[in-house]
Amino acid sequence: MKSSRRTFLISSIGVASALAVSRTAFADPVKLPESDSMAQSLGYKLDATTVDKAKFPRYAAGQDCGNCSFYQGKATDAFAGCPMFAGKQVASKGWCNAYNKKA
């Protein structure tokens, strides 16, 4: 009796842990905020047209995440992953100093 109760408790904990892990795995990816320290060091902006051109002279009009080779989404995706900011999503209309024109 005691053993089956322990088995039940242990398997309940296992199920709860598995659910917690799967909920994390399927949670919406976090959108990269401009306030993120890495985002600030790379001059990331949600709207490329607001890039500080004096501070980031590599920026040129027409460049944005959507036409950057690092953008992991389709051209029509408003947000997608970028290896510069692992685990977060960047805006298709955004920009950062690691921009590299898609071939």
Which residues sit at the interface with ligand SF4, rule CB under 6 A? 44, 65, 68, 70-71, 82, 84, 90, 94-96, 98-99
88: nearest Cα among 43, 44, 56: 44
- Cβ proximity to ligand SF4, 8 vs 68, nearer residue: 68
- Given a contact cutoff of 8 angstroms between Cβ atoms, the answer to whether 71 and 65 are in contact is yes
- Cβ proximity to ligand SF4, 34 vs 70, nearer residue: 70
CB of 20 to ligand SF4, least distance (A): 30
9 alpha-carbon distance from chain centroid? 37
CB of 30 to ligand SF4, least distance (A): 14
Report the C-alpha gap between 69 and 90 in whole angstroms.
13
- Cβ proximity to ligand SF4, 33 vs 90, nearer residue: 90
- Give residue for tokens 């947000």: 79
